Structure 1
């Protein structure tokens, strides 16, 4: 684990650098808005359609930090693992205090059902208390997930596909306390419970990686975490500047119900830069690195593409396409406006990953993907967007991704 950790840390140190004179991201936006044409969003369009008044009025951007936003939107995706997937996503953006320093909080929910009879319901919370003294993060999920796993390592192909079925319950809760400007530390509890795990291929003619690694009817990972966080973003849902870093060490213990003792380390690093500097366009960088050690994590708790908090890593590949004891992931994205009124925007992105091969745990080749997407502004006051992306990976992999707000 050590050499992967230190190589990755050196590679990503630049993401932690925050430029001198960095401003409040919403203040940057409000200044730009005032200098340009009137900004509109989907809500303005809806009001015009259903109102006798066909004039779209400009917003008062001075109160941007006090406004709330709530969206209920249909969701649809297509990947090889899920087929066509439909559901409902919601996002509520708000502030717990009228204090100008308090960051925006958000609560997101995702409920989906796919053509392959996969059901999931997810609640993600990111709550900031007054003056950002406390940051409370929650991740609760339930999956009924008949799907495909492709084995371990970065050299697997679609021919390695293995049909599995299981139920999964997740409960993560983390609380971080502000110790200085831009630095929070805290502890958390994490539970992953998989049950009714079974392969559904029928009579396999080959021994799968799941069988080699250890196929069990259920698995439990239960443990505490220690967390360090830096966040200079004002709007975590759709950042327009600043940087973010979260380092989480998790210790799963038999004493807390785990099948076995094992540990993990996750480093989530992000940086947002205006380019050109006098525009609203953003170059965004993301590094997500996930290591396991000091024991063997259950197969479905191993680092895997698409299993980050908002399952956004690996656009261009189906969820779970690459899995191993360690995962190194990098992504870059350019976000730009298409219409001057802010209603429509676009992105182009590229990502690359490497996972530990099995059973020697040496890191695999670099696995790239690229793509683009469109952005539709839902609320100009809270900078909430509707995102639709199309990604292309190697080996014929591709897929559509739908999000409320930016991918990272």
Structure 2
């Protein structure tokens, strides 16, 4: 899959991770009664778990006994290495950090992530992202910053149906699934601020700016009928660059026990994005996005046995979006949906992806675990194919390596496949959802 450069280990959403150093349980209960908030004890069985830090200690200092009084670190750093024909060989570094910011025992874990990489095809990608909860969850700040020199794949609009007669419609829907590559400079800044208005319930708003400049299809002539050229000309977007800048309004409800790897709970977020020309956007547009997740633990004694459900959809309500900003495969905030297909392989004015995943431990010390997953996606193309009319499947399996037991951070290695010969290997930190 192409998303080696776009591979983000960003964590969205939230719910409680238990602090590793906490007051006695009786004290927690008293605080809970005073504050009328749910309190979570420390992670059970943490000492019996084994992660990469333990492995490194055993290899470098085999005779050294672990310091049980030392608080585990919430920082994970790994090399960012990948290789495929689209990006060449990629080398970089990525890091994820997690920490509870506050003394209130109900405070959710705050997380941040960053990555920088470069490839042999001169692709450069840098990002920083954060999801911060203040003491007692009074405020939640979510945001990201991206700067990149990219090559973005384009497979047209729609879900793969190509029963059209006009050359322009055939070019847009691209039934032969020919891949185009668009070079560009890409910048994104997004920040949302949520206020907790009731237990588990947050409302918020913010701004998002997305800019693409120096867009160029080096393999196609300007007169060619490519999806990007046809769509841009029909919808009045400058082929060389555009801006999609808007205001964000969101409602979020969450009861997850951990946002990195939940064993139980739900996460729901619904938001409206309003792109406005007075903010510098090339076109006005209104877009609705809904993100729903449910986690069910199948065992009380081994809660890592989890079945998880995910429904992510984004729908253009009015106005126009640039072709490369339309919702589609892997276009969720973390670029993790629809594994088996490259980012944007299917996309449309309206898009929906549904997924189910089974997660299970392999080793008794939780160092290794596994997953199997299946997805179905659908898209509207505004050329006769409606949402939920045509579906495309995807699926696969993966291995998990426990990188940081304090924050339940996993190294995820997935192999997934879809239709049209689409398949790929995925490497990332933390679960896809």
TM-score band (shorter)? 0.7 to 0.9
Q: 2:147 aligns with which of 142, 145, 154?
A: 142
Q: SS of the counterpart of 2:336?
A: coil
1:87 is aligned to 2:92: yes
1:399 to 392, 409, 424: 424
On the 8 A contact 1:24/1:234 being kept in 2, the answer is no
- Cα 1:52–1:210, aligned 2, differ >3 Å: closer, same or farther? closer
Which residue of 1 is the match for residue 63 of structure 2?
A: 53
Supply the distance in 1 between the matched residues of 2:246 and 2:181 (Cα, whole angstroms). Answer: 29
The equivalent residue for 1:129 is 134
1:77 and 1:401 in contact (8 A); partners too:
no
Change over 3 Å in CA distance of 1:378–1:394 after alignment to 2 = same
Residue 389 in 1 paired to residue 394 in 2?
A: no
Structure 1 counterpart of 2:270: 247
Structure 2 residues not aligned, in runs of 5+: 1-36, 161-173
Structure 2 residue aligned with 1:213: 231
Q: CA deviation at 1:39?
A: 1.7
Question: Which runs of 5 or more structure 1 residues have no equivalent in the other structure?
Answer: 1-22
Determine if the alignment matches structure 1 residue 380 to structure 2 residue 405.
yes
TM-score, length basis structure 1: 0.86
Secondary structure class of the residue paired with 1:152: coil
Equivalent position SS for 1:294: strand
Counterparts of 1:210 and 1:131, CA distance in 2: 47
Q: Secondary structure at the match of 1:386?
A: strand
1:346 paired with 2:370, answer yes
Aligned to 1:365: 390
Report the Cα distance in structure 1 between the residues aligned to 2:83 and 2:380, rounded to whole angstroms: 27
CA contact (8 A) 2:129 2:143 kept: yes
> Which string of whole-angstrom CA distances, capped at 9 and with x for unpartnered residues, describes residues 279-337 of structure 1?
22111111110111211111221112112211111111111211211110111111110
- Hey, what's the Cα distance between the residues in 2 that align with 1:296 and 1:130? 40
1:25/1:240 contact within 8 Å kept = no
Contact 2:154/2:227, CA 8 A, preserved across alignment: no
Residue 29 of structure 2 aligns with which residue?
A: none
Q: Secondary structure at the match of 1:44?
A: helix
Asked if the contact 2:38/2:106 (under 8 Å) is kept, the reply is no
Give matches, 1:222-261, under 5 Å: 222-261=245-284
Contact kept? 2:39, 2:105, Cα under 8 Å: no
Contact conserved, 2:326 with 2:348, CA < 8 A, in 1? yes
CA distance in 2, matches of 1:92, 1:219: 33
Q: CA deviation at 1:240?
A: 1.9
Shift of 1:225: 1.1
Conservation of the 8 A alpha-carbon contact between 1:77 and 1:400: no
User: What secondary structure is seen at the aligned counterpart in 2 of 1:213?
Assistant: helix
- Pairwise CA distance, 1:357: 2.0
Give yes or no for the alignment of 1:98 onto 2:98.
Answer: no
Is 1:265 aligned to residue 283 of structure 2? no
**TM-score w.r.t. length of structure 2:** 0.81
Moved more, 146-155 or 205-214: 205-214
Distance in 1 between residues matched to 2:365 and 2:176, nearest whole Å: 44
- Residue-pair matches, total: 377
Q: How does 1:25-36 map to 2 (within 5 A)?
A: 27=41, 30-31=43-44, 33=45
Distance in 1 separating the partners of 2:177 and 2:317: 29
How much does 1:226 deviate? 0.8
Q: Return the offset for 1:159.
A: 4.4
